[in-house]
Structure 1
Amino acid sequence: MLFKDCFMFANIDINQIKKLTQKEFDQFYELEGWSSTLINSRWVLELMTRDDAPALMISDLGEDADFMDMSEFCVDTYNRSQKYYFTCDSENDVISKVYLHLVQHWDVQEFLEVFA
């Protein structure tokens, strides 16, 4: 099953998701309600509310990230990681559904490829 088909099966319309640049993301006035999840020692998913709309930030710690080395994980590693930003309209919160889907299925790479 293709990733887009999987999202349609989960009743998530990925056309409602907007990818943001870091500059666009940094322009938001208020960020709150942070929730973070580490997936497969590589991906950090962060769900938040930005200016009253949902947002998702995905940080890529790299393919060579190792769960056994997470005790050595530090702010510098996180700050240097590649980040991807997404949002949607507040009336149609597909971002929360995407977050839950990614946590359950670990298909973060496939999700990012849809927006490449």
Structure 2
Amino acid sequence: MFIQPPIAVPTHFACDGHHLLTHLARPNPVWKAIEHDPNVVFTVIGDYAFIPGPRRTKAGTPPTDGVPTSYYTAVQFTCRAGIVADHLTARGQGLDVPTARQQRRRLDRIGPWKP
């Protein structure tokens, strides 16, 4: 039995009340996974800092004995994905304004996407 590994999609998002909103273009392969199972894990990673080993040594300890580390913030949400709007003409608000404008310009140049 083949087990499909998790799919990770780095993307921007916005909060709207109790909803997390993101834009995924229809050609994005993650759609097949969401259509198969709309239960998703949404991970947000905040500021990230790498601390070199020599900066973490105690007084009187050689700098080469310091252990490097990273400090970061991360939160995971267990969510159920759903489509808010599936047409460029129906969108164009909030998070989608710049994306919709860019995609409309591309559509003018290359025509509609064909699966």
TM-score calculated relative to the size of structure 2: 0.26
Query: Of Structure 1 and Structure 2, which has the larger fraction of its residues in helix?
Result: 1
> Which is bigger in relative contact order (C-alpha 8 A, separation at least 6)?
1
- Structure with higher Rg: it is 2
